[in-house]
Chain A
């Protein structure tokens, strides 16, 4: 069935560009990560500047690592392997370039806007609506280019790596669009379409599947391509890889609710999340075993090859993280890990081990080949490998320890029935040594990456870049007659569009089953009569809370445990969040929960908050919370109030008709009230126009409705 032999060229230039971007953004992302790690125990590094405080730098770090480092890593690997697996050049050089420059532009604008305080307040989806639209556009360009390439291929059969790429493409598109449903209020400010529990469900369906379909499936595709290449032998079991693929994408999409265990999410949805998360261990380990056994009988090669060493640790880290994940989804384990540094340790096994090391291995393999030379120094690559591996351990182990320690302190009662550590801060200062150790681990890892940078630059200098690599293959015959008795799966695997649709159906079902009832059925979110919309001033205060990224350190979700109820007040009910666009439950308690900060139990004076925000250590000696001095200087954006009220009305928040016209007056009146009170309490320079006033109004409102 072979046609005439055709000559063509692989496009290496685009691969090179993405590889460079991966390296550069990787180092930037890690540097910011290191800054964040230091800020946690050395708050002076927040520099008293809004642009460089933890609430903004932490999202910058996560976005940089996920979308800039791993994102460019995906494109590097896909653009290299796709062409070769399909025996054709990318369909359009122009689209490749648009994909590249568009993505880099998005990254730059993400970095600028995140530091400037533009955020949706939803983790890993912080970017505001104009950037969201740009991401959707560039993602479509990528998919378009990929599909057109697949349709003009010279190899009939699609290797399993390509299935992973296709599933990645569709699922990320669906996740991004559904989670980014937001109502623009102005250029660079929007409110999530969903509120409270529903927002939380959509967000973590997205959040978890960003892990699944951005950090995992495309990298599995890369594993299935680059590991066999580097080992020069086919994957251990191709049949296993097929099962791995379908089982993984089917199960993953259901797992999101494991991020919301013991929250106000309906019980049945939590249970679904747990069950599917536990089952995930099977395909995940199937994949890991398939990767590791590819090296069976070739372990001598591993000893001599830094590339293979990186791959082995990457796949092992994948196995560790995907064993730990299902464990963390068990409710009893999650009770311990959630809100603590255990989670942070867990994700870094994935990020540093799996994504990082797979990327490094791929770079060491790719660059010399594209530059027609040998790696400058195999020895330095090995040095990198060892520093990096030690770095991962020194990073993660202390965080596991910190997570456990802090949980044990949170839940301990004295014999008389009081909290053993009623002051939250005590449980933080206890684990500072762990934070210090973690930052040493991170430093080691970064040093390793810099060693690679040097090694790669030297390799590039010595080499001769092959921008267009010649290849030849027979043309694909148009009319393909399926052999008699061919099984049903074969046509699917041959036909990319069908594969895409099939994958789409598989992932849509999981999402729909969890979301539709939570959205439609009343009993899932029982209303509470006393819960009322925020006043205009509180709404502005809430937007400041979101803008400053307080959710990066504070949760607003009290779980039904004796120790949490004792510490923070009654556990949270879903009906309390119905006007929260977006929800602000948070995922990590570096500071205490704030869901009932204004309640009788926790309430503090206005002046306490005033002083605390200006300088937390003045009220809580030894606090690691950053200073927020600019809140005392910057004016509330009062003019935006009517538009915000109208947007909330559109989203279903029951402000009376025409309330937008009154909102500014009411805002001012409430602000004056707070100013007066502050002055009475001895803060002579209190000024009703300042952001701090709005933030205080919001904090004092939290948890008060249900007390009425």
Chain B
């Protein structure tokens, strides 16, 4: 194969995808409720 047709678009798509993923992640993390985080972070300490 000499080249892949339209290859230029792939890096852009991946960049957009991952950028949105991380932005989404940050938003979710920032807005998560305290009590919920509290529950999770104490899981190792139960028992």
Q: A residues near B, CB below 8 A?
A: 81, 84-85, 87, 155, 157, 159-161, 224-225, 228-229, 232-235, 238-239, 242-243, 246-247, 250, 471, 487-489, 509, 513, 516-517, 520-523
Q: Which residues of B contact A161 (CB under 8 A)?
A: 44
Complex Cα distance, B19 from A250, in Å, reads 11
Q: Which residues of B contact A238 (CB under 8 A)?
A: 37, 40-41
Q: How far is the CB of B29 from chain A (nearest CB, A)?
A: 5
Other than A489-B24, A520-B4, A523-B3, give 5 A-B pairs with Cβ distance below 8 A.
Answer: A238-B37, A487-B32, A489-B28, A509-B14, A523-B2
Q: Closest A-chain residue to B39, C-beta based?
A: A157
A487 touches B41 (CB 8 A): no
Q: Which residues of B contact A489 (CB under 8 A)?
A: 24-25, 28-29
Q: Known contacts being A250-B18, A513-B10, is A239 close to B37, with CB within 8 Å?
A: yes
Q: Which residues of A contact B9 (CB under 8 A)?
A: none
Within 8 A of A (CB), among B25-44: 25-26, 28-32, 37, 39-44
Q: Which residues of A contact B39 (CB under 8 A)?
A: 157
Complex Cα distance, B25 from A243, in Å, reads 7
Q: Closest B-chain residue to A232, C-beta based?
A: B45
Count B interface residues, CB 8 Å: 29
Complex Cα distance, B3 from A517, in Å, reads 8
B14 touches A513 (CB 8 A): yes
Would you call B16 an interface residue if the criterion is a C-beta within 8 Å of the partner chain's C-beta atoms? no
B11 touches A513 (CB 8 A): yes
Complex Cα distance, B4 from A229, in Å, reads 52
Would you call B12 an interface residue if the criterion is a C-beta within 8 Å of the partner chain's C-beta atoms? no
B4 touches A487 (CB 8 A): no
Q: Closest A-chain residue to B30, C-beta based?
A: A239
Q: How far is the CB of A436 from chain B (nearest CB, A)?
A: 44
Q: Closest B-chain residue to A469, C-beta based?
A: B47
A487 touches B2 (CB 8 A): no
A471 touches B47 (CB 8 A): yes
Q: Which residues of B contact A488 (CB under 8 A)?
A: 24, 28
23 A-B interface contacts by CB (under 8 A): A84-B46, A85-B43, A157-B39, A159-B43, A161-B44, A224-B44, A225-B44, A229-B44, A229-B45, A234-B41, A234-B45, A238-B40, A239-B29, A239-B30, A243-B25, A243-B29, A247-B22, A487-B31, A489-B25, A517-B4, A521-B1, A521-B3, A522-B2
Q: Which residues of A contact B30 (CB under 8 A)?
A: 239
Q: How far is the CB of A250 from chain B (nearest CB, A)?
A: 7
A246 touches B22 (CB 8 A): yes
Q: How far is the CB of A225 from chain B (nearest CB, A)?
A: 5
Q: How far is the CB of A491 from chain B (nearest CB, A)?
A: 11
Q: Which residues of A contact B2 (CB under 8 A)?
A: 521-523
Q: Known contacts being A242-B25, A243-B25, A246-B25, is A517 close to B7, with CB within 8 Å?
A: yes
Q: Known contacts being A243-B25, A471-B47, A522-B1, is A159 close to B40, with CB within 8 Å?
A: yes
Q: Closest B-chain residue to A225, C-beta based?
A: B44
Q: Closest B-chain residue to A159, C-beta based?
A: B43
A157 touches B11 (CB 8 A): no
Interface of B is mostly: helix
Complex Cα distance, B10 from A521, in Å, reads 15
Complex Cα distance, B6 from A673, in Å, reads 54
Q: B residues near A, CB below 8 A?
A: 1-4, 7, 10-11, 14, 18, 21-22, 24-26, 28-32, 37, 39-47
Q: Closest B-chain residue to A229, C-beta based?
A: B44
Q: How far is the CB of B38 from chain A (nearest CB, A)?
A: 8
- How many inter-chain contacts with C-beta < 8 Å in the A-B complex? 75
Complex Cα distance, B26 from A259, in Å, reads 31
B25 touches A81 (CB 8 A): no
Q: Which residues of B contact A225 (CB under 8 A)?
A: 44
A228 touches B44 (CB 8 A): yes
B44 touches A81 (CB 8 A): yes
Q: How far is the CB of B33 from chain A (nearest CB, A)?
A: 9
Q: Closest B-chain residue to A231, C-beta based?
A: B45
Complex Cα distance, B29 from A246, in Å, reads 12
Q: How far is the CB of B40 from chain A (nearest CB, A)?
A: 6
Most chain A CB within a 10 A radius of its CB, from B22, B30, B44? B44
B14 touches A234 (CB 8 A): no
Q: How far is the CB of B22 from chain A (nearest CB, A)?
A: 7
Q: How far is the CB of B31 from chain A (nearest CB, A)?
A: 6
Complex Cα distance, B1 from A393, in Å, reads 51
Q: Which residues of A contact B24 (CB under 8 A)?
A: 488-489
Q: Pick the contact of A235 from B11, B21, B41 — CB < 8 Å?
A: B41
Q: Which residues of A contact B41 (CB under 8 A)?
A: 228, 234-235, 238
Q: Closest B-chain residue to A81, C-beta based?
A: B44
Complex Cα distance, B14 from A457, in Å, reads 53
Q: Which residues of B contact A516 (CB under 8 A)?
A: 4
Complex Cα distance, B2 from A517, in Å, reads 10
Complex Cα distance, B42 from A229, in Å, reads 10
Q: How far is the CB of B47 from chain A (nearest CB, A)?
A: 5
Q: How far is the CB of B26 from chain A (nearest CB, A)?
A: 7
Q: Which residues of B contact A247 (CB under 8 A)?
A: 22
Q: Which residues of A contact B29 (CB under 8 A)?
A: 239, 242-243, 489
Complex Cα distance, B46 from A509, in Å, reads 37
Q: Pick the contact of A157 from B31, B40, B44 — CB < 8 Å?
A: B40
A239 touches B44 (CB 8 A): no
Q: Which residues of A contact B3 (CB under 8 A)?
A: 521, 523
Complex Cα distance, B46 from A225, in Å, reads 11
Lowest 5 CB-CB distances: which A-B pairs, in order? A234-B41, A238-B41, A489-B28, A159-B43, A239-B29
Complex Cα distance, B13 from A170, in Å, reads 24
Complex Cα distance, B11 from A513, in Å, reads 8
Q: Pick the contact of B28 from A250, A487, A517 — CB < 8 Å?
A: A487
Q: Which residues of B contact A228 (CB under 8 A)?
A: 41, 44-45
Q: Which residues of A contact B10 (CB under 8 A)?
A: 513
Q: Closest B-chain residue to A502, C-beta based?
A: B21
Q: Which residues of A contact B28 (CB under 8 A)?
A: 487-489
Complex Cα distance, B27 from A673, in Å, reads 73
A84 touches B47 (CB 8 A): yes
Q: Closest A-chain residue to B42, C-beta based?
A: A234
Q: Which residues of B contact A159 (CB under 8 A)?
A: 40, 43-44
Q: Closest B-chain residue to A239, C-beta based?
A: B29
Complex Cα distance, B2 from A161, in Å, reads 45
Q: Pick the contact of B4 from A87, A471, A521 — CB < 8 Å?
A: A521
Q: Closest A-chain residue to B25, C-beta based?
A: A246
Complex Cα distance, B46 from A232, in Å, reads 10
